[in-house]
C-alpha cells in the first residue's frame, strides 16, 4: 500500500479521520521547526495549590500504538496523552494505511485491517526516538520491516544493537544502509534472548517481535519499567501469552492471531513526578490525581528525604511542604531505581535545598546538558562527567533559557515557577513531546505561565529590516 504524503496535515473532519472530530492534532513534517518560535513565559514565586490530573504515559502510548499493527481487528486506546510524540505515532499509522479515528480527546480507535505496508515514512520516523517500536511490530506481523534510524532527544549515544540482537535471535536478518534499518525473516521462531544491558526499548521491541513467533521466547535481563508491564497487559488483552513482565525474565509463547481490544494507557509516572517536584519547589500543596502510587515509590522516597510531605491514596498523592528542604544524594538507575527521566527535575529542586547534594547519572552520559541553563538562573552546580555537585542556594532568579531536551525543559519550568522574576523558556517543542497541556494544568494550580508564539513573518521582517 502506498504511504500517504508526509507534508499533509490531517484535518479535524469526518472525511479524513472517519470520526466526529480529531482531538489529537496530527503533526506536520515542518511543525517542529515552527514550534521553535514558541516559548513559555513564567512569572515565578507563586505557590502551587489545588489539584492536577496526570495524563496517560508517553512511554507506554508510543509502544502500544505500533503494537496494534500485530492485530487485524480494530483496537481502542483510552487515556491517550495529547502530546506530539503520540500525534506523530498516530500520523505514522495513518500514513501506512491504518484507519485512525478520535472518539474523544483521549480515546483513539485504530484499525490495521488489511494493511500491507511494512515501510515507515522516513520523515516521520526520524523525528522521534520511539519510532523504533515499529520495527518490532512490523517484523512480528510481516516478518519484514523498513524504518529509518530513530531521532529524539540528544542525550548521547543510544544504539539499537540490543534491539537487533533480539531480532536476530528470533531469526531475522538486518541491514542498515542510508539511514534505514531493513529487517527480513523467512519466519520468526522463539528463542533465548539475553540483553547485554538493561534496555527498555530493546525489551519492548523483543516482546513485539516475539508475540506471534513460533514457540517460546525467553527474554533475560529484561527491563522492568511500568510501561513494559503495560505493553504486556495490552498484548495479553489481545490474546497474547506473556508472563513475567515487571521482572528480569519475560516468557512469551507465540500465538498465531491477536484480536481487537479496548485498553486504557497507564498513568504517566514521570509527569506525576514532575508535578510533585513542582509542588515542592514552590512550597505548595497539590493533589496529583490519576496516578499509581506504587510506580512513584522511588520519587516519593527521595522527596521525603528532602523534607517534602507525601500522602498516598488509592489513585492520587498529596504533596505539601511545611518546612525547609534539605540535601540528599541521588543515583539514577533502571527501574525500580530512581528514574533518569526525573533527574533534571530533582536536581532543580535540590538547588533550593540546604546543603550539598551529589547527583550521579547512571543511564545517559549527556543528561546534564541543562545545567548551564540553570546556572543562568543562579544555580550553583558543578559537573564532572556523570556526577553533579549541587550547592543549595535556596533561591533562583528568572532568566531567558532554552530547553535542550524533554526532561531538561520540565526542569526549567520547575525552576521558573520557583524563581523570583520572569523566566522565558525557548525550544519548548522538546517539552511538548512528552507533557500534555502542561501550561493549562499548572495554571489550574495557580501558576502564572503562558505559551507565547512569535509569528514567522515577524522574524523574517526583523532579519530583512
Residues 109 and 190 in one domain: yes
> Are 205 and 227 in contact, with CB atoms under 8 Å apart?
no
pLDDT at residue number 1: 36
What's the chain's Rg over C-alpha atoms?
Answer: 22
Domain C-terminal end among 220, 244, 264? 264
- Whole-number Å distance between alpha carbons of 85 and 203: 20
Q: Residues with catalytic annotation? A: 153
Cell numbers for 353: 535545598
What is the residue whose three cell numbers read 503495560? Answer: 230
Same domain, 307 and 403: yes
Mean of pLDDT over the chain: 89
Interval 426-435: pLDDT, tens:
999 999 999 9
- Which helix (H) or strand (E) element contains residue 369? none
In a domain, 207, yes or no: yes
Q: What is the mean pLDDT of residues 269-282?
A: 98
Same domain, 101 and 45: no
For 380, phi and psi rounded to 5 degrees?
Answer: -110, 90
**175 in a domain, yes or no?**
yes
Residues 64, 131 within the same domain: yes
Concatenating the DSSP letter of every residue in 304-358 gives HHHT-EEEE-SSEEEEE--S--B---EEB-STTSB-GGGHHHHHHHHTTSBSEEE
Q: Would 5 be classed as within a structural domain?
A: no
Burial of 118 (0-12, 13-18, 19+ CB in 10 A): buried
Is the model more confident about 18 or about 210? 210
Q: Is the dihedral of CA 303, 304, 307, 310 positive or negative?
A: positive
Are 122 and 46 within one domain? no
- In this structure, the answer to whether residues 70 and 171 fall within a common structural domain is yes
Same domain for 317 and 242: no
What pLDDT digit, counting tens, does each position of 213-246 carry?
A: 999 999 999 999 999 999 999 999 999 999 999 9
Share above pLDDT 70 across residues of the chain, in percent, rounded to a whole number: 88
Report d(CA 121, CA 114) in Å as an integer: 18
- The answer to whether residues 120 and 49 belong to one domain is no
- Domain range for 445: 31-55+267-459
pLDDT tens, residue by residue, 361-418: 988 777 899 999 999 999 999 999 999 999 998 899 999 999 999 999 999 999 999 9
Domain assignment present for 127: yes
- Kindly list the strands in the beta sheet with 387-391, ordered across the sheet, starting from the edge strand earlier in the chain: 330-331, 356-360, 387-391, 380-384
25 or 437: which carries more pLDDT confidence?
A: 437
User: Which of 248, 264, 280 is the endpoint of a domain?
Assistant: 264
**Position 157 pLDDT exceeds 80:** no
Give the end of a domain, one of 221, 241, 264.
264
d(CA 413, CA 422): 11
Q: Can you give the pLDDT at residue 122?
A: 80
Mean pLDDT computed over 420-446 = 96
Q: Cα torsion for 215, 221, 224, 225, to the nearest 10°?
A: -100
Q: Mean pLDDT throughout 300-315?
A: 98
Domain for residue 10, yes or no? no
> Any idea which of 18-22, 85-89, 306-310 has the lowest mean pLDDT?
18-22
Q: Are 381 and 391 in contact (CB under 8 A)?
A: yes
Contact 58, 266 (CB under 8 A): no
- pLDDT of 39-72, one tens digit each? 999 999 999 999 999 999 999 999 999 999 999 8
In tens, the pLDDT along 246-273 reads: 999 999 999 999 999 999 999 999 999 9
Residues 6 or more apart in contact with residue 177 via CB below 8 angstroms: none
**Which is more confidently placed, 122 or 289?**
289
* Measured CA distances, 309 to 136, 289, 317, 332, 344 (Å): 42, 16, 10, 22, 20
Angle (CA) 318 320 324, round 5° = 155
Q: How many CB atoms lie under 10 A from the CB of residue 219?
A: 28
- Contact by Cβ (8 Å): 301, 114: no
Give yes or no: residues 220 and 92 share one domain.
yes
pLDDT of 366 reads 79
Could you tell me if residue 146 is inside a domain?
yes
Report the pLDDT value the prediction gives residue 363, as an integer from 0 to 100: 87
Does 379 lie in the same domain as 306?
A: yes
Count CB-CB contacts under 10 A for residue 411: 28
What is the pLDDT, as a whole number, of residue 96? 92
The mean pLDDT of 330-348, rounded to a whole number, is 96
pLDDT in tens, 123-156: 777 777 778 999 999 999 999 999 987 654 444 4
Q: Does position 6 have pLDDT exceeding 60, yes or no?
A: no
Inside any domain, residue 390: yes
Asked if residue 51 belongs to a domain, the reply is: yes
DSSP string, 376-408: HTT-EEEEETTEEEEE--S--B--EEE--SHHH
Number of domains the chain contains:
2
Give the up-direction half-sphere exposure of residue 353: CA atoms within 13 A in the CB hemisphere.
27
CB 116 within 8 A of CB 98: no
Pair 290, 426 in one domain: yes
Distances (CA, A) of 349 to 41, 340, 385: 20, 15, 21
**Residue 412's domain is classified under what CATH number?**
3.65.10.10
- Share of residues in the chain with pLDDT > 90 (%): 80
Whether residue 105 sits in one domain with residue 150: yes
pLDDT in tens, 103-122: 999 999 999 998 999 999 88
Please give the pLDDT value at position 461.
55
Q: What is the pTM of this model?
A: 0.89
In this structure, what are the phi and psi dihedrals at residue 446, rounded to the nearest 5 degrees? 105, 5
Amino acid at each position: 500500500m502506498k504511504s500517504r504524503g508526509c507534508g499533509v496535515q490531517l484535518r479535524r473532519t469526518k472525511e479524513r479521520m472517519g470520526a466526529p472530530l480529531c482531538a489529537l492534532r496530527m503533526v506536520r513534517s515542518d511543525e517542529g521547526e515552527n514550534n521553535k518560535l514558541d516559548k513559555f513565559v513564567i512569572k515565578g514565586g507563586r505557590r502551587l495549590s489545588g489539584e492536577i490530573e496526570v495524563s496517560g504515559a508517553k512511554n507506554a502510548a508510543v509502544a502500544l500504538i505500533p503494537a496494534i499493527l500485530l492485530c487485524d481487528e480494530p483496537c481502542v486506546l483510552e487515556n491517550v496523552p495529547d502530546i506530539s510524540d503520540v500525534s506523530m505515532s498516530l500520523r505514522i499509522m495513518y500514513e501506512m494505511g491504518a484507519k485512525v479515528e478520535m472518539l474523544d480527546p483521549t480515546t483513539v480507535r485504530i484499525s490495521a485491517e488489511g494493511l500491507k505496508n511494512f515501510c515507515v515514512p522516513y520523515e516521520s520516523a526520524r523525528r522521534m526516538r520511539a519510532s523504533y517500536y515499529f520495527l518490532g511490530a512490523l517484523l512480528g506481523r510481516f516478518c519484514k520491516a523498513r524504518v529509518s534510524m530513530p531521532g529524539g532527544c540528544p542525550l548521547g549515544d543510544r544504539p539499537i544493537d540490543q534491539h537487533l540482537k533480539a531480532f536476530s535471535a528470533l531469526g531475522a536478518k538486518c541491514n542498515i544502509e542510508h539511514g534505514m534499518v531493513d529487517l527480513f525473516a523467512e519466519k520468526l521462531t522463539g528463542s533465548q534472548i539475553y540483553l547485554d544491558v538493561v534496555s527498555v526499548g530493546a525489551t519492548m521491541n523483543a516482546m513485539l517481535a516475539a508475540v506471534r513467533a513460533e514457540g517460546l521466547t525467553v527474554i533475560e535481563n529484561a527491563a522492568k519499567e511500568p510501561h513494559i508491564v503495560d505493553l504486556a497487559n495490552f498484548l495479553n488483552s489481545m490474546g497474547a501469552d506473556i508472563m513475567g513482565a515487571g521482572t528480569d525474565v519475560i516468557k512469551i509463547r507465540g500465538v498465531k492471531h491477536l484480536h481487537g481490544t479496548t485498553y486504557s494507557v497507564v498513568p504517566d509516572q514521570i509527569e506525576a513526578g514532575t508535578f510533585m517536584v513542582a509542588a515542592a519547589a514552590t512550597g505548595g500543596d497539590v493533589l496529583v490525581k490519576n496516578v499509581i502510587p506504587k510506580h512513584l515509590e522511588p520519587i516519593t522516597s527521595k522527596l521525603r528525604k528532602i523534607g517534602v510531605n507525601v500522602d498516598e491514596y488509592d489513585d492520587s498523592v498529596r504533596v505539601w511542604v511545611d518546612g525547609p528542604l534539605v540535601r540528599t544524594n541521588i543515583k539514577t538507575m533502571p527501574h525500580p531505581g530512581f528514574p533518569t527521566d526525573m533527574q533534571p527535575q530533582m536536581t532543580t529542586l535540590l538547588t533550593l535545598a540546604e546543603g550539598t547534594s551529589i547527583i550521579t547519572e547512571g543511564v545517559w552520559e549527556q543528561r546534564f546538558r541543562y545545567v548551564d541553563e540553570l546556572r543562568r538562573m543562579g544555580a550553583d552546580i558543578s559537573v564532572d562527567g556523570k556526577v553533579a555537585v549541587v550547592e543549595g542556594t535556596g533561591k533562583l532568579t528568572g532568566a531567558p533559557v532554552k530547553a535542550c531536551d524533554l526532561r531538561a525543559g520540565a526542569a526549567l519550568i520547575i525552576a521558573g515557577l520557583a524563581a523570583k522574576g520572569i523566566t522565558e523558556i525557548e525550544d519548548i517543542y522538546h517539552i511538548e513531546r512528552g507533557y500534555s497541556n502542561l501550561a493549562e494544568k499548572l495554571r489550574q494550580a495557580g501558576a502564572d505561565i503562558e505559551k507565547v508564539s512569535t509569528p514567522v513573518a515577524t522574524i523574517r521582517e526583523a532579519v530583512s529590516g
